[in-house]
């Protein structure tokens, strides 16, 4: 690398650090400052962010719109519930390992069928396959609890048993646990999208024919991206289950996939941090909309319609546009 | 023997309603290349409007035959809603990537779902008096509700009319031309914008009609739209998205499998349907009647 390249690289690193360090500090001190309810909402937001990050590897980086990511999120959540119910396991690390395995298997199976298609057909197929899991969870109620779902107690974290005050445990120990997993996931995803593999995915997204021409094996790359994406979303589901206390079919049904799409687009799927910002924003939006009115779907639907009409690049896109305008004005 | 005949009739009943929903969905996709996720909600709208209109008429004490005239109310309401939606919300999206169209219709789904709850409340609406007024007839020794035969008849008539409309009228020619090559059709003087709004309205009318004729036999409930949409997806995936013949074949297959599934394998009935859809896609990627390259 030549000197100017190295300088540009260092400048870019500094610019990223200037964002990451304050954000990390804020997230670290948050539970000490805000009340437990807020911390729990933030925890939900971080978990959704892991899921959206995984989802965006497909939408933003590979150009595939999945409407079936509820299968992986719900798959992760139900894996935890099954491990509790049938294997009497209580360790969060084992839950995470189990859900990685389960979502890898589910996404490999789904991916095998789905990556043969792109665009709308890919969307329909992922939706249809995810509904198979939903219908199974719904019908085999003696295994899955049906619409009631399965209870998931608070797990032990790194061998540390949950304290008696469940709320306090979730808002502190569990929050930091989720934050650590979140940081690890962000780091891994950053490495993945900046690796040669990530670049190849972007090449496929931008021009399939050219990517094939330079020797990229498109279907295999898409399948690998699909599986990685599924695993991230599965991990999110596994973290969600103990926090929610229940694995229920709500997170398997396809409209939940729609919510994952929604949050990613809300943040902006053209940027790396977009899905993270979108997931946290969406979680707050939904929490307050549900608390504010029974017609929260109407409210969120309107937000989505306005968003797609007026702000298709999402929150991050709007910020970028604003920033470049200010730079020009200067 | 009688039981078997009733199973066949039930399968046909189911296929008729599914054809109306999936046919509309497929027609819209075929012409406009838009997959309307809110399509099921227009079916639900048809059901709610008809049930509501019949309820009002019953309150006013009108004779029974008038109630039958009110059945199409739901279809008309869905058509009007469709025309408004196309004109205001979908038209800006024809030049944008289809991801945005999907998102827009997903937003519409959320809005329509709650609007129905807002207008008619959370309780089911029913119009059983229409269903009951026809009584039942005897089929090979078993009783069968006469109204179910009406639904089957409406499904068959709708299929025939649609076929005649698309293959035997001038409008049908324009519709098919637009569906095959939008730019060429436009260059030859077809007003594509008008075809779009007509196709979307027609598709929504069909969904609304499906809801309207089904509501006397089963109540209009919240969430019926989303459930119906998922089944309509299976139908169009099996038959081929954008093909009406495909929607008909898909609806018949799903109708028969579902009827068999309810008696033989109730737990995995839906899973079997999806499995069929997945196998069809692996063998014939564009569906049974789909065009290659979509």
Select, from the ranges A35-39, A322-326, B114-118, B142-146, the one with the highest average predicted confidence (pLDDT): B114-118
Model confidence at A3, in pLDDT bands (50, 70, 90)? low
CA within 13 Å, CB half, B205: 14
Phi, psi angle pair for A247, to nearest 5°: -100, 115
Of the listed ranges A90-104, A114-128, A253-267, B223-237, the least confidently predicted one is A114-128
Instruction: From residue B163, give the alpha-carbon distance in Å to each of A247, B23, B202, B209.
Output: 47, 11, 13, 17
In this prediction, residue A283 carries a pLDDT of 92
| Number of residues in chain B | 294
CA distance A72 to A297: 23
Instruction: Compute the distance between CA of residue A25 and CA of residue B120 in angstroms, rounded to an integer.
Output: 49
Cα–Cα distance list, A53 to A46, A48, A182, B127, B217 (Å): 10, 8, 10, 47, 45
How far is it, in rounded angstroms, from Cα A264 to Cα A43? 17
Verify whether the Cβ–Cβ distance B241 to A304 is below 8 Å.
no
List pLDDT tens digits, range A43-60.
999 999 999 999 999 988
Q: Give CA angle at B35 (A207, B50), nearest 5°.
A: 170
Mean confidence (pLDDT) of chain B: 84
Angstroms from B237 CA to nearest CA on chain A: 8
Residue A149 has pLDDT above 70, yes or no: yes
Token pair 């004779």 in the structure block, residue: B63
Inter-chain touch A113–B110, beta carbons under 8 Å: no
* Percent of chain A residues past pLDDT 90, beyond the cut: 25
Interface test with B, best of A130, A147, A250, A305 (most B CBs within 10 A): A305
Q: Domain ranges for chain B, please list them.
A: 19-223
Residues 6+ apart with CB under 8 A from B35: A120, A123, A124, B25, B29, B98, B101, B102, B105, B241
List, for residues B62-93, the tens digit of each pLDDT value: 777 777 888 888 899 999 999 998 888 888 87
- Across the interface, whether the CB atoms of A135 and B237 are under 8 A apart is answered no
pLDDT for residue B204 is more than 80: yes
Residue in A121, A123, A255 closest to B102 by CB: A123
Find, in chain A, the residue whose alpha carbon is nearest to that of B112.
A298
C-beta separation of A276 from A90 below 8 A: no
Strands (E), chain A: 150-151, 246-247
To the nearest 10°, the Cα dihedral for A260, A262, A268, A273? -30
Q: Does A63 have pLDDT greater than 80? A: yes
Predicted confidence (pLDDT) at residue B288 exceeds the cutoff of 70: yes
Question: What pLDDT does A275 receive?
Answer: 92
C-alpha to C-alpha distance for A274 and B234, rounded to whole angstroms: 33
Interchain pair A139, B266: CB under 8 A: yes
Mutation target vs A (from B22, B33, B110, B276; most A CBs, 10 A cutoff): B110
List Cα–Cα distances, A119 to A122, A150, A212, B220, in angstroms: 5, 35, 18, 33
Confidence band of A160 (pLDDT split at 50, 70, 90): confident
Q: How far is CA B126 from CA A20, B47, B153, in A?
A: 57, 9, 21
Q: Residue A141: pLDDT above 80?
A: no
What residue ranges do the domains of chain A occupy? 35-253
Which chain A residue's Cα is nearest to B287? Answer: A121
Hey, are the CB atoms on B110 and A129 less than 8 Å from each other? no
At residue B292, the pLDDT reads 46
Strand partners, A247: A150
Distance CA B192, CA A295 (A): 37
The whole-model pTM stands at: 0.85
Averaged pLDDT for residues B157-183: 86
pLDDT (tens digit, 9 = 90+) per residue, B5-32? 888 888 888 899 999 999 999 888 888 8
CB pairs under 8 A between A and B: 119
Which positions in chain A touch B100 (Cβ < 8 Å)?
308, 312
Q: How far apart are CA B41 and CA B224, in angstroms?
A: 8
Query: What is the C-alpha to C-alpha distance for residues A326 and A134, in angstroms, rounded to an integer?
Result: 48
Q: For residue A271, what is the DSSP state?
A: S
Average pLDDT value for residue range A283-299: 86
Does residue A151 sit at the B interface (CB-CB below 8 Å)?
Answer: no
């Amino acid at each position: 690398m030549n000197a100017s390249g190295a300088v540009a690289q260092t400048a870019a690193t500094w610019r990223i650090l200037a964002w990451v360090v304050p954000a990390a500090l804020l997230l670290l001190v948050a539970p000490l400052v805000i009340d437990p309810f807020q911390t729990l909402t933030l925890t939900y937001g971080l978990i959704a962010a892991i899921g959206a990050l995984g989802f965006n590897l497909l939408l933003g980086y590979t150009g595939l719109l999945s409407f079936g990511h509820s299968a992986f999120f719900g798959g992760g959540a139900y894996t935890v519930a099954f491990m509790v119910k049938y294997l009497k396991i209580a360790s969060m690390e084992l839950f995470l390992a189990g859900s990685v395995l389960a979502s890898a298997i589910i996404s490999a199976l789904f991916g095998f069928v789905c990556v043969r298609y792109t665009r709308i057909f890919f969307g329909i197929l992922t939706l249809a396959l995810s509904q198979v899991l939903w219908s199974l969870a719904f019908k085999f109620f003696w295994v899955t609890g049906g619409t009631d779902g399965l209870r998931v107690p608070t797990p032990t974290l790194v061998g540390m048993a949950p304290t008696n005050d469940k709320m306090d445990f979730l808002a502190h120990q569990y929050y930091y646990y989720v934050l650590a997993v979140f940081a690890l996931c962000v780091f891994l995803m950053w490495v993945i999208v900046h690796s040669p593999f990530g670049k190849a995915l972007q090449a496929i997204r931008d021009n399939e024919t050219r990517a094939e021409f330079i020797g990229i094996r498109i279907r295999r790359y898409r399948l690998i991206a699909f599986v990685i994406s599924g695993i991230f979303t599965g991990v999110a589901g596994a973290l969600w289950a103990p926090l929610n206390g229940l694995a229920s079919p709500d997170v398997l049904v396809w409209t939940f996939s729609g919510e994952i799409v929604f949050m990613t687009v809300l943040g902006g799927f053209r940027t790396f941090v977009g899905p993270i910002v979108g997931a946290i924003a969406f979680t707050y939006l939904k929490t307050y909309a549900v608390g504010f009115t029974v017609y929260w779907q109407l409210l969120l639907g309107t937000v989505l319609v306005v968003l797609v009409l007026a702000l298709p690049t999402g929150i991050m896109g709007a910020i970028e546009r604003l920033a470049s305008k200010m730079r020009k004005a200067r | 023997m009688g039981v078997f005949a009733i199973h066949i009739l039930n399968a046909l009943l189911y296929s008729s309603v599914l054809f109306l929903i999936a046919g509309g969905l497929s027609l819209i996709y075929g012409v406009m290349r838009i997959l309307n996720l809110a399509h099921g909600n227009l079916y639900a709208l048809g059901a709610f409007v008809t049930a509501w209109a019949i309820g009002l008429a019953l309150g006013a004490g009108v004779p029974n035959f008038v109630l039958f005239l009110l059945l199409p109310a739901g279809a008309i309401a869905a058509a009007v809603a469709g025309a408004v939606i196309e004109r205001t919300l979908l038209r800006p999206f024809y030049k944008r990537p289809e991801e945005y169209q999907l998102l827009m219709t997903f937003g519409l789904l959320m809005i329509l779902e709650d609007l129905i709850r807002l207008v008619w409340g959370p309780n089911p609406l029913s119009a059983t008096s229409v269903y009951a007024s026809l009584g039942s007839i005897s089929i090979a020794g078993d009783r069968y509700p006469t109204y179910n035969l009406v639904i089957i008849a409406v499904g068959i008539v709708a299929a025939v009319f649609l076929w005649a409309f698309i293959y035997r009228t001038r409008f049908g020619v324009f519709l098919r031309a637009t569906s095959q090559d939008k730019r060429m059709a436009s260059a030859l003087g077809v007003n594509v914008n008008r075809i779009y709004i007509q196709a979307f309205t027609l598709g929504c009318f069909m969904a609304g009609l499906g809801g309207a004729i089904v509501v006397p036999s089963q109540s209009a409930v919240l969430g019926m739209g989303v459930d119906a949409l998922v089944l309509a997806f299976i139908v169009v995936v099996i038959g081929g998205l954008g093909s009406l013949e495909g929607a008909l074949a898909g609806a018949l297959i799903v109708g028969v499998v579902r009827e068999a599934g309810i008696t033989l394998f109730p737990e995995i009935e839906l899973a079997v349907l999806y499995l069929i859809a997945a196998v069809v896609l692996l063998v014939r990627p564009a569906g049974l009647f789909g065009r290659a390259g979509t």
